């Protein structure tokens, strides 16, 4: 990522502000619309799940400029997701859903540059998560 892209992600995320719960709700709507089969992966209380997602998203956005911190958090996150049975193809759906949810909440603020910055950020984060997932999952099981 470029420093400008990182700033753009962070500033646009700040604009979400109080609408973070709405963003989260929208994200899950988008995700389950894309793939209803993913719903059973979320066995816990959805309200609690949304809070967890929002917290994690905030944390990731804040650590974006510091790769070492980002690696520590997101690798472990990926390892946990492997345990939930999340597949590589699911990551694409999550990314698309997140970008659409952001567009819905940010409206005109989500311009082309912002969208691209988020896309780059998500690519980076998902690669690290998948690396963590691979390291955690013994294959052949």
User: Binding residue for other proteins (CB under 8 A) from 23, 57, 105, 130?
Assistant: 130
Asked if residue 134 binds other proteins (CB under 8 A), the reply is yes
3-state secondary structure (DSSP) of residue 138: coil
Cα 100 to Cα 5: distance, rounded to the nearest angstrom = 18
Cα 25 to Cα 96: distance, rounded to the nearest angstrom = 15
For residue 74, how many other CB atoms are within 10 A of its CB? 23
Is the alpha carbon torsion for 129, 133, 134, 136 positive or negative? positive
Asked if residue 138 binds other proteins (CB under 8 A), the reply is yes
User: Binding residue for other proteins (CB under 8 A) from 4, 48, 109, 111?
Assistant: 4
Which residue is listed with tokens 């209380």?
A: 45
Asked if residue 76 binds other proteins (CB under 8 A), the reply is no
Which residue is listed with tokens 């691209």?
A: 116
Asked if residue 85 binds other proteins (CB under 8 A), the reply is no
Cα 91 to Cα 101: distance, rounded to the nearest angstrom = 15
Asked if residue 80 binds other proteins (CB under 8 A), the reply is no
Asked if residue 128 binds other proteins (CB under 8 A), the reply is yes
Asked if residue 88 binds other proteins (CB under 8 A), the reply is yes
CB of 84 to other proteins, least distance (A): 15
Note the residues at the interface with other proteins (CB under 8 A): 1-6, 65, 67-68, 87-89, 91, 119-120, 123-124, 127-128, 130-131, 134-135, 137-141
């Amino acid at each position: 990522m470029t420093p400008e892209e990182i700033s753009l992600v962070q500033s646009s995320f700040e604009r979400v502000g109080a609408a973070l719960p709405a963003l989260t709700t929208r994200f899950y709507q988008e995700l389950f619309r894309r793939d209803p089969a993913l719903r059973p992966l979320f066995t816990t209380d959805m309200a609690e799940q949304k809070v967890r997602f929002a917290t994690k998203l905030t944390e990731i956005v804040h650590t974006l400029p510091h790769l070492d911190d980002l690696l520590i958090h997101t690798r472990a996150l990926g390892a946990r997701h492997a345990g939930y049975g999340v597949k590589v193809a699911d990551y694409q759906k999550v990314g698309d859903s997140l970008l659409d949810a952001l567009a819905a909440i940010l409206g005109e603020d989500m311009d082309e540059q912002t969208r691209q910055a988020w896309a780059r950020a998500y690519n980076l984060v998902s690669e690290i998560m998948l690396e963590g997932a691979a390291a955690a999952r013994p294959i052949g099981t």
